[in-house]
Amino acid sequence: MKKIFSILVITILLSSCVGNDKVILKESIGKLNKVMVVAKISDWTGDVGKEVRNSFGELMVGLPQPESILDVSQVAPSGFSSMMKASRNILIISESNNEGFSVKNNIYAQPQTIVYVQAKDDAGIIKLLKKHKKEIKSIFLEADVKFTQSIFEKDKQDNTHYKTLQNLGISLIIPTKFNIVDDTGEFLWLRNHLTSGIAKTGSNNILVYSIPLTDESKVADNIVAVRDSIGEKYIPGTDAETQHMITEEAYTPFTFDAVIDGKKAYETRGKWEVKNDFMAGPFLNYTIIDKKNNRLIIFEGFTYAPSVNKRAFLFELEAIAKSMKIK
């Protein structure tokens, strides 16, 4: 009887793991915006490593302190152990006659993104890295956005609590750590008071509002003017009569094409400040063109965290913005 039971157990396990192609993977590990590079030490200390560091070490625009878009660390193939294989973001560089660039997911852990770059020699590897560097960065960043959203999804707020979101017909994955500052039905301001490290006097903020779409060709040119008008109306300083949020005049924001919920949008990164005061920090603005409803939907995140790096705070806001769904 025991023998029959053992056979049944083995059969069930085999059918669930092999027959249905289901494999139980361990949970991946690793910090956000960090990539483990598997490469020979000679490659890492040479031109190949230099190309990787130059590509991933590009500074994120709009931050007061210099911070790279992605951090990288290196491990030799011989040291690519079981623990290392659990890393969430991995770039594997190797020499091979089968030259190419490819992406695989959830090989050793889950969620996990592995990018493979292989060529006959260093020159070929460098050529591939140069050709695909933008794509490779986007692959890792998009994976981290989805991972962050999955974390927030487990502890999200009910959107029906927000009049403005209901009136605008949009939804967002908003963690419960954000609290309402203002919710007029036309303008939403949420704030998360930072509680860790020396940033505990600061905050992460979300703004959501809409304005009519008048001339699509001028949307990008008017982003700063729109956000400054909203700052004057809704975001006062200590003295509401003389102080309000504006775009920092000494720093020109950068605007890029983007897509939110399948709709054309603009992503703008820059610095904000309070007029006639010393408060300042980075902001991230998404202006979405909603042609169906003849309007622009604006999501803005801004951070106030004196004396600390702010990339991680902005990345959380980016993940929330990219969770937007529009009716």
pLDDT > 90 fraction of the chain, expressed in percent and rounded: 82
pLDDT in the model for residue 154: 96
Residue 244: band (very low, low, confident or very high) from pLDDT cuts 50, 70, 90: very high
- Averaged pLDDT, 79-108: 95
Report whether the peptide linkage leading into residue 111 is cis, meaning its omega lies within 30 degrees of zero. Answer: yes
Domains and CATH numbers, the chain: 18-153 (3.30.379), 159-326 (3.40.1000.10)
H helices present in 25-121, as ranges: 41-44, 47-56
Per-residue pLDDT for 186 more than 90? yes
Cβ burial, residue 149 (10 Å; 0-12/13-18/19+):
middle
In contact, 296 and 283? CB cutoff 8 Å: no
- Averaged pLDDT, 85-112: 96
Write the DSSP symbol of residue 233.
Answer: H
From residue 148, alpha-carbon distances to 27, 32, 155, 315 in Å are: 14, 8, 11, 9
pTM of the model: 0.90
Q: Which two tokens stand for residue 144?
A: 């981290």
CA distance 140 to 125: 19
pLDDT in the model for residue 307: 83
Look up residue 91 and give its amino acid. L
pLDDT in the model for residue 241: 83
Residue 197: band (very low, low, confident or very high) from pLDDT cuts 50, 70, 90: low
From residue 70, alpha-carbon distances to 32, 88, 92, 190, 311 in Å are: 9, 13, 16, 27, 10
Bigger pLDDT: 22 vs 229? 229
Bigger pLDDT: 237 vs 163? 163
Closest alpha carbon to 179 in 167, 198, 195: 195
Neighbours of 144 (CB within 10 A): 24
Q: Which two tokens stand for residue 109?
A: 């852990």
Q: Which two tokens stand for residue 162?
A: 């927000």
Residue 239: band (very low, low, confident or very high) from pLDDT cuts 50, 70, 90: confident
Per-residue pLDDT for 216 more than 80? yes
pLDDT tens string 144-185: 999 999 999 999 999 999 999 999 999 999 999 999 999 999
Residue 12: band (very low, low, confident or very high) from pLDDT cuts 50, 70, 90: very low
CA distance 227 to 205: 14
Per-residue pLDDT for 224 more than 60? yes
Minimum mean pLDDT range among 1-10, 112-121, 312-321: 1-10
Residue 198: band (very low, low, confident or very high) from pLDDT cuts 50, 70, 90: low
Distance of CA 168 to the CA centre of its chain: 24
Closest alpha carbon to 181 in 170, 189, 171: 189
Strands 89-95 and 113-119 turn out to be parallel
pLDDT tens string 264-287: 999 999 999 999 888 899 999 999
Minimum mean pLDDT range among 14-18, 58-62, 125-129, 241-245: 14-18
pLDDT in the model for residue 10: 40
pLDDT in the model for residue 11: 40
Strands 179-183 and 203-212 turn out to be unpaired
Residue 3: band (very low, low, confident or very high) from pLDDT cuts 50, 70, 90: very low
Per-residue pLDDT for 31 more than 50? yes
